[in-house]
Amino acid sequence: MKKKQDIPFTFGVNIPDATLDKYDNHIIRTLSSMQGQYFDTESYEAMLLEDDQVLYEVFEIKRPEIAGELLTGLSVVHPGKVGDEFFMTKGHFHTVLETAEVYYCLQGEGYMVMETPEGDWAVEELRPGRVLYVPPRWAHRSVNSSADEDLVTFFVYPGHAGHDYGTIEEQGFRNLVVEKNGRSKIIDNPRWRHQEERK
Protein backbone atom coordinates (compact mmCIF):
# COMPACT_ATOMS: atom_id res chain seq x y z
CA MET A 1 0.00 0.00 0.00
CA LYS A 2 1.37 3.42 -0.98
CA LYS A 3 1.73 6.20 1.56
CA LYS A 4 -1.26 8.55 1.37
CA GLN A 5 0.82 11.39 -0.04
CA ASP A 6 1.88 9.25 -3.01
CA ILE A 7 -1.60 8.56 -4.28
CA PRO A 8 -2.66 10.66 -7.28
CA PHE A 9 -5.40 13.16 -6.51
CA THR A 10 -7.53 15.72 -8.25
CA PHE A 11 -9.04 19.02 -7.24
CA GLY A 12 -11.31 21.42 -9.04
CA VAL A 13 -10.56 24.92 -10.24
CA ASN A 14 -14.11 26.12 -10.56
CA ILE A 15 -14.96 28.04 -13.68
CA PRO A 16 -16.13 30.78 -14.04
CA ASP A 17 -15.84 31.89 -10.40
CA ALA A 18 -12.11 31.01 -10.25
CA THR A 19 -12.08 29.25 -6.87
CA LEU A 20 -10.60 25.95 -5.67
CA ASP A 21 -13.08 23.31 -4.53
CA LYS A 22 -10.60 22.23 -1.85
CA TYR A 23 -7.37 23.52 -0.34
CA ASP A 24 -5.27 22.89 2.77
CA ASN A 25 -4.09 26.35 3.71
CA HIS A 26 -5.50 29.85 3.36
CA ILE A 27 -3.09 32.79 3.74
CA ILE A 28 -4.54 36.28 4.17
CA ARG A 29 -2.25 39.26 3.67
CA THR A 30 -3.36 42.64 4.90
CA LEU A 31 -2.04 46.16 4.39
CA SER A 32 0.13 45.99 7.54
CA SER A 33 2.22 43.18 6.02
CA MET A 34 3.34 45.56 3.22
CA GLN A 35 5.26 48.05 5.38
CA GLY A 36 7.76 49.96 3.23
CA GLN A 37 6.60 48.42 -0.07
CA TYR A 38 4.32 51.16 -1.42
CA PHE A 39 5.95 54.28 -2.75
CA ASP A 40 3.39 56.71 -1.28
CA THR A 41 4.11 56.13 2.41
CA GLU A 42 1.75 58.93 3.48
CA SER A 43 -1.25 57.31 1.77
CA TYR A 44 -0.13 53.94 3.14
CA GLU A 45 -0.06 55.17 6.75
CA ALA A 46 -3.40 57.00 6.33
CA MET A 47 -5.09 53.89 4.91
CA LEU A 48 -3.65 51.74 7.67
CA LEU A 49 -5.10 54.04 10.34
CA GLU A 50 -8.53 53.57 8.75
CA ASP A 51 -8.46 49.81 8.27
CA ASP A 52 -5.91 47.00 7.95
CA GLN A 53 -7.70 45.76 4.86
CA VAL A 54 -7.10 42.47 3.07
CA LEU A 55 -4.96 42.98 -0.06
CA TYR A 56 -4.57 39.41 -1.25
CA GLU A 57 -5.16 35.78 -0.37
CA VAL A 58 -3.42 32.53 -1.24
CA PHE A 59 -5.08 29.09 -1.24
CA GLU A 60 -2.51 26.31 -1.08
CA ILE A 61 -2.59 22.59 -1.74
CA LYS A 62 -0.12 21.17 0.79
CA ARG A 63 2.68 18.84 -0.35
CA PRO A 64 6.05 18.02 1.18
CA GLU A 65 8.41 20.94 0.57
CA ILE A 66 11.10 18.84 -1.08
CA ALA A 67 12.69 18.50 -4.52
CA GLY A 68 10.55 16.39 -6.82
CA GLU A 69 7.27 17.71 -5.43
CA LEU A 70 5.22 20.56 -6.93
CA LEU A 71 3.35 23.17 -4.92
CA THR A 72 0.11 24.45 -6.40
CA GLY A 73 -2.63 26.86 -5.48
CA LEU A 74 -4.50 30.05 -6.24
CA SER A 75 -3.40 33.61 -5.66
CA VAL A 76 -6.19 36.20 -5.41
CA VAL A 77 -5.18 39.87 -5.42
CA HIS A 78 -8.07 42.21 -4.64
CA PRO A 79 -8.61 45.48 -6.52
CA GLY A 80 -7.50 48.75 -4.97
CA LYS A 81 -4.66 51.25 -4.74
CA VAL A 82 -2.34 52.81 -2.20
CA GLY A 83 -1.98 56.32 -3.58
CA ASP A 84 -1.63 55.70 -7.34
CA GLU A 85 -0.06 52.27 -6.92
CA PHE A 86 -2.18 49.18 -7.46
CA PHE A 87 -2.62 46.46 -4.86
CA MET A 88 0.06 43.80 -5.25
CA THR A 89 1.69 40.82 -3.55
CA LYS A 90 4.80 41.13 -1.37
CA GLY A 91 6.85 39.46 -4.09
CA HIS A 92 9.90 37.30 -3.57
CA PHE A 93 12.90 35.50 -4.95
CA HIS A 94 12.81 31.76 -4.37
CA THR A 95 15.26 30.78 -1.64
CA VAL A 96 16.62 28.20 -4.07
CA LEU A 97 17.22 30.72 -6.84
CA GLU A 98 17.43 28.12 -9.58
CA THR A 99 13.74 27.25 -9.42
CA ALA A 100 11.06 28.36 -11.86
CA GLU A 101 7.32 28.94 -11.51
CA VAL A 102 4.30 28.81 -13.82
CA TYR A 103 1.27 31.07 -13.44
CA TYR A 104 -2.02 30.59 -15.29
CA CYS A 105 -4.32 33.58 -15.16
CA LEU A 106 -7.96 32.69 -14.55
CA GLN A 107 -9.59 36.03 -13.90
CA GLY A 108 -9.02 39.76 -13.89
CA GLU A 109 -6.21 41.83 -15.30
CA GLY A 110 -2.80 42.81 -14.10
CA TYR A 111 0.91 42.37 -14.39
CA MET A 112 3.75 40.24 -13.12
CA VAL A 113 6.69 42.44 -12.21
CA MET A 114 9.98 40.52 -12.30
CA GLU A 115 13.70 40.98 -11.91
CA THR A 116 16.91 39.02 -11.41
CA PRO A 117 19.75 39.51 -8.90
CA GLU A 118 21.82 40.59 -11.93
CA GLY A 119 19.50 43.58 -12.46
CA ASP A 120 17.53 42.32 -15.49
CA TRP A 121 13.85 43.20 -15.33
CA ALA A 122 10.60 42.31 -17.09
CA VAL A 123 6.90 43.08 -16.74
CA GLU A 124 4.35 40.74 -18.34
CA GLU A 125 0.62 41.24 -18.67
CA LEU A 126 -1.73 38.80 -16.94
CA ARG A 127 -5.19 38.21 -18.33
CA PRO A 128 -7.50 35.18 -18.41
CA GLY A 129 -6.10 32.29 -20.44
CA ARG A 130 -2.51 33.58 -20.44
CA VAL A 131 0.24 31.37 -19.02
CA LEU A 132 3.33 33.04 -17.60
CA TYR A 133 6.58 31.14 -17.25
CA VAL A 134 8.87 32.66 -14.64
CA PRO A 135 12.35 31.20 -15.24
CA PRO A 136 14.79 30.38 -12.43
CA ARG A 137 16.37 33.44 -10.72
CA TRP A 138 13.47 35.85 -11.39
CA ALA A 139 11.79 37.49 -8.39
CA HIS A 140 8.07 37.94 -9.03
CA ARG A 141 5.21 40.10 -7.77
CA SER A 142 1.62 40.12 -9.09
CA VAL A 143 -0.19 43.43 -9.44
CA ASN A 144 -3.94 43.84 -9.93
CA SER A 145 -4.60 46.73 -12.33
CA SER A 146 -8.38 46.34 -12.44
CA ALA A 147 -10.62 48.86 -10.70
CA ASP A 148 -13.15 46.32 -9.52
CA GLU A 149 -12.17 42.71 -10.23
CA ASP A 150 -9.93 40.23 -8.38
CA LEU A 151 -6.77 39.08 -10.17
CA VAL A 152 -6.80 35.28 -9.86
CA THR A 153 -3.86 33.11 -10.91
CA PHE A 154 -3.11 29.41 -10.51
CA PHE A 155 0.53 28.74 -9.70
CA VAL A 156 2.90 25.75 -9.75
CA TYR A 157 6.45 25.74 -8.39
CA PRO A 158 8.99 23.21 -7.08
CA GLY A 159 8.47 21.90 -3.57
CA HIS A 160 11.95 22.87 -2.36
CA ALA A 161 11.91 26.44 -3.81
CA GLY A 162 11.17 28.35 -0.58
CA HIS A 163 10.42 32.09 -0.37
CA ASP A 164 13.03 34.81 0.16
CA TYR A 165 10.98 37.90 1.05
CA GLY A 166 13.82 39.79 2.76
CA THR A 167 15.68 40.86 -0.37
CA ILE A 168 12.60 42.52 -1.87
CA GLU A 169 11.62 44.06 1.48
CA GLU A 170 15.00 45.79 1.49
CA GLN A 171 15.48 46.76 -2.14
CA GLY A 172 11.94 46.87 -3.54
CA PHE A 173 11.21 46.06 -7.17
CA ARG A 174 12.73 48.11 -9.95
CA ASN A 175 9.30 48.79 -11.48
CA LEU A 176 6.07 50.09 -10.00
CA VAL A 177 2.63 49.79 -11.60
CA VAL A 178 0.55 52.92 -11.07
CA GLU A 179 -2.63 54.45 -12.40
CA LYS A 180 -2.14 57.53 -14.52
CA ASN A 181 -5.06 59.30 -16.25
CA GLY A 182 -7.25 56.24 -15.79
CA ARG A 183 -4.69 53.83 -17.30
CA SER A 184 -2.07 51.57 -15.84
CA LYS A 185 1.50 52.68 -16.31
CA ILE A 186 4.79 50.96 -15.52
CA ILE A 187 7.29 53.38 -14.03
CA ASP A 188 10.74 53.18 -12.47
CA ASN A 189 10.82 52.89 -8.70
CA PRO A 190 12.78 55.93 -7.52
CA ARG A 191 13.61 54.07 -4.30
CA TRP A 192 14.87 50.88 -5.94
CA ARG A 193 18.39 50.12 -4.89
CA HIS A 194 20.01 47.10 -6.36
CA GLN A 195 21.56 44.74 -3.83
CA GLU A 196 25.01 45.04 -5.39
CA GLU A 197 24.89 48.84 -5.24
CA ARG A 198 24.05 48.87 -1.56
CA LYS A 199 27.21 47.03 -0.61
Amino acid sitting at position 196: E
Within 10 Å of residue 138's Cβ, how many Cβ atoms?
A: 20
By the rule CB under 6 A, 142 interacts with ligand PA5: yes
| Site size with ligand PA5, rule: CB under 6 A | 14
Q: Is residue 101 close enough to count as binding Ni ion by CB under 5 A?
A: yes
Q: What are phi and psi of 4, to 5 degrees?
A: -55, -40
Query: Could you say which of 37, 75, 175, 184 contacts ligand PA5 (CB under 6 A)?
Result: 75
How far apart, in whole angstroms, are the C-alpha atoms of residue 68 and residue 178? 38
Name which of Ni ion, ligand PA5, none residue 75 binds, using a CB cut-off of 5 to 8 Å depending on partner kind.
ligand PA5
> How far is residue 111's CA from residue 145's CA, in Å, rounded to a whole number?
7
Q: Between 146 and 153, name the residue whose CB sits nearer to Ni ion.
A: 153
Q: What is the smallest separation between the CB atom of 26 and ligand PA5, expressed in angstroms?
A: 12
Contact window for Ni ion (CB under 5 A) among 18-26, 73-81, 93-101, 167-175:
93-101
Q: Which of 12-20, 39-47, 89-97, 122-130 is the region at the interface with ligand PA5 (rule: CB under 6 A)? A: 89-97
Q: Phi and psi dihedrals of 183, rounded to 5?
A: -125, 155
Only one of the segments 61-69, 86-94, 113-121, 178-186 lies at the binding site for ligand PA5 (rule: CB under 6 A); that segment is 86-94
Query: Which of ligand PA5, Ni ion, none does residue 100 bind to, with CB < 5 to 8 Å depending on kind?
Result: none
CB 86 within 8 A of CB 71: no
Given a contact cutoff of 8 angstroms between Cβ atoms, the answer to whether 131 and 104 are in contact is yes
Phi-psi label, residue 193: left if phi above 0, alpha if psi -120 to 50, beta otherwise: beta
Catalog residues that contact ligand PA5 under the rule CB under 6 A.
29, 58, 73, 75, 89-92, 101, 140, 142, 155, 157, 163
